[in-house]
A and B are shown apart, each in its own frame.
Chain A
Amino acid sequence: MKKLVAVMMAAGLLGTGSAHAQSSTSGQFNVSVTLTSSCTLSAINDLAFSYTSFQSGTANATGGGYSVSCTNSLPYTFGLQSGTGTATPPGASTISVTDNAVNLAYQLALSAAGGTGNGSAQTYSVTGSMAGNQAGTCSGASCSNSAATNKRHTLIVNY
Chain B
Amino acid sequence: MKTLERAMLAVLAVAAGGAAGAAVGGTAGSLDVTIQLASSPSVCLSRSLADRTGAVVQVACPSGQFVAIAPARGLVGAQGSTFRYALGGVDAGWIEGDQPLAQWGTVTALRVVDLDRQRLPVEMLVSF
Contacts and interface: CB of A to CB of B under 8 A. Distances in A.
Interface of A: 36-55, 61, 64, 66, 74-75, 81, 84, 86-90, 97, 99, 101-102, 104, 106, 108, 126, 128, 130, 135-136, 138, 140-146, 148, 151-159
A66 B33 contact: no
Given A152-B32, A153-B30, A155-B29, A46 B37 contact: no
Given A158-B9, A159-B26, A89 B18 contact: yes
Identify whether the interface residues of A are mostly helix, strand, loop, or mixed. loop
Given A44-B2, A89-B16, A153-B31, A49 B26 contact: no
Interface in B10-34: 12-13, 16, 18, 22-34
A87 to B, nearest CB: 4
B37 A104 contact: yes
A47 B43 contact: no
Q: Top 9 nearest A-B pairs by Cβ distance? A: A87-B28, A44-B31, A145-B35, A43-B2, A46-B32, A142-B38, A53-B40, A49-B35, A102-B37
B45 interface: yes
Nearest to A37: B24
B4 interface: yes
A54 B42 CA distance: 10
A52 B9 CA distance: 40
Contact of B37 (A66, A88, A143, A155): A143
A61 B39 contact: no
Contacts of B39: 52-53, 138, 140-142
A49 B38 CA distance: 11
Interface of B: 1-2, 4-7, 9, 12-13, 16, 18, 22-40, 43, 45, 62
A140 B25 CA distance: 47
B40 A97 contact: no
A81 B26 CA distance: 14
A101 B25 CA distance: 35
Contacts of B45: 53, 135
A52 B25 CA distance: 42
Nearest to A65: B31
A156 B26 contact: yes
B36 A49 contact: yes
